[in-house]
Amino acid sequence: MHVLGINALFHDPAAALITDGQVVAAAEEERFSRRKHGKRPVPFSAWELPERSARWCLEQAGLTPSDLDAVAYSYDPVLARPAEELGLHDPWDHLRQEYARQAPGFLAEALPGLDPDKVRFVPHHVAHAASAGPVSPYPDCAVLVLDGRGECGSHLAGRYTNRELTVLTAQQLPHSLGLFYEDLTQHLGFLRSSDEFKVMALASYGTPRFADRLREYVRAGDQGGFLARPVPWADLVPPRPAGGAWHQDHADLAASAQLCLEEVTLALARWLRERTGEDALTLAGGVALNCVANTRLWRESGFTHVWVQPAAGDAGTALGAAAHIAGQKDTLEPMETAALGRGWSDAELRAWLERAAVPYEEPADIAETAAEALAADGIVAWFQGRGEYGPRALGHRSLLAHPGKAENLERLNAVKGREEFRPVAPMVLAERAAEIFDGPLPSPHMLFVHDVAAGWKSRIPAVVHVDGTARIQTVDRAREPLVARMIDGFERRTGLPVVVNTSLNTAGRPMVDDPRDALECFGSAPVDLLVLGPFAVRRGKAFA
């Protein structure tokens, strides 16, 4: 059975393909269009479909649109109600609903040969849930979904038994933790529905002195629900102009909102644990990308295991919608990797380099070449294998650096052209992680924060955030042998089994995806070495 999943209505349009229960391909449209998040989440863009990512998914499997058994669209307009009835100020939402209703025809036009009757609408939060529970390592688990909004709600709590969903409760709009955090993001001068992770980073610089005031508006309720009313943010702290300097009040407001978010999510998870008795909790929805909250759930919710969908935001609903439909007929296999995007053969990569007319090398061991450059304090652009599905660079489209140089944090933020308070992440061998980091292990998808051991903070200062934590990625030798060899080579030269890992892009641009993107990024940013598959391009030679 071939099922193509589509996310299109709000933001982060994406496509995913499941064949006979196995995830074959998944990618966000932004990686093809080079527009961050694919589009803005406004009603006037709701008609835009992830055409390029959908066509690529089919090509990856050697299929045509007529071969599909179903197309799963991650929103069900039948469940929607007018925005004013939901307590939302969104005067053009009716346009969004109309585009959703017309999606079968739009998809048939975008994918010639597709029978529009094969399009199936999947409720938005069910799609989020199905992106987590049934493709996680746990066929029996609790599932918690939290985001901005779906058709009428912002939350789903349920359980999967043998990968079949039972919904236990759902929070209706206008109450929404996702919209609460989005509103704060905009108030602090960042781009809403895009820069919420910046608020999480800024929160580490503040103290939650506004928390009591915010609890008047945002708090846990009864029976697994919560209250989230509009906050008069300007009564607490004046808004920060976009691009303006941030002050301590801004950091304190971010810290206060972050604490309230953690408190509510923790209460929801504890209710779910008590109600289900499950040992494993799976998470999806944009709020599940909040690594700090995820770690509190792991430490304090009572669940033994916490698994987060790597593409927890709306992009992941493409996979979830497909999984929901495919799981009705096929047994779904666990999602073992986020490397579900595009990849190129060595011959194709060589052809790109020849076409670009840049001098390149083909060393005997590219891992050792990268390790040598890193040990010499070079910045390495690392492009290997298939691209990642989701917002995290996980050793396939990464910028790497030496973690033992404190100044490399500022250096990398300057290379990427982003805010100075933004942290970078450590990539560490899985077998070494426990001696350096305290938190959920393994952590292959960079979705939790870990306390850094006291003896290591001074050894890897570039990756230690201001609060003494780090958002780590553990590297499994069996799954990522090339990355592991690179880290081994770095450790032999420096004594450190950790390298800095951040996404291969510059501010405001999607993560690098194809070889052209990698070459353009290398040409525009002060990166010392580009590793493109087995090939190396050195800045000194390329720009002599």
> Tokens 């919710």, residue?
301
- Distance, in Å, from the CA atom of 122 to the CA atom of 320, rounded to the nearest integer, reads 9
Q: Which amino acid is at 170?
A: A
Q: What's the CA dihedral at 207, 213, 219, 221 to 10 degrees?
A: 150
Those residues whose C-beta lies under 8 Å from the C-beta of residue 228, and which sit 6 or more positions away, are 154, 174, 175, 176, 177, 179, 180, 217, 218, 264
Is residue 170 a contact partner of residue 125, using CB atoms and an 8 Å limit? yes
H or E stretch covering 22: strand 22-28
3-state secondary structure 264-323: HHHHHHHHHHHHHCCCEEEEECHHHHCHHHHHHHHHHCCCCEEEECCCCCCCHHHHHHHH
DSSP reduced 3-state for 156: strand
Could you please report the per-residue DSSP string of 47-98? T---HHHHHHHHHHTT--GGG-SEEEES--GGG---GGGGT---TTHHHHHH
- As separate numbers, helices (DSSP H) first and strands (DSSP E) second, the chain gives 20, 22
Beta-strand ranges (E) seen in 349-416 are 380-383, 397-401
- Distance, in Å, from the CA atom of 36 to the CA atom of 27, rounded to the nearest integer, reads 13
- Distance, in Å, from the CA atom of 309 to the CA atom of 38, rounded to the nearest integer, reads 20
Distance separating the N- and C-terminal Cα atoms of the chain: 54
Give backbone dihedrals phi and psi of 119, rounded to 5 degrees, phi first.
Answer: -80, 130
Is residue 222 a contact partner of residue 171, using CB atoms and an 8 Å limit? no
Closest by CA position to 52, among listed 68, 36, 32, 66: 32
Closest by CA position to 71, among listed 8, 136, 134: 8
Q: What's the CA dihedral at 73, 77, 80, 84 to 10 degrees?
A: 110
Give backbone dihedrals phi and psi of 102, rounded to 5 degrees, phi first.
Answer: -90, 5
- Distance, in Å, from the CA atom of 87 to the CA atom of 137, rounded to the nearest integer, reads 38
H or E stretch covering 159: strand 153-161
User: Of 11, 128, 324, 445, which is the active-site residue?
Assistant: 11
Sign of CA pseudo-dihedral 443, 446, 447, 449: positive
DSSP tag of 221: -
Is 128 catalytic? The answer is no
Looking at the DSSP bridge assignments, the partners of residue 128 are none
Active site residues: 11
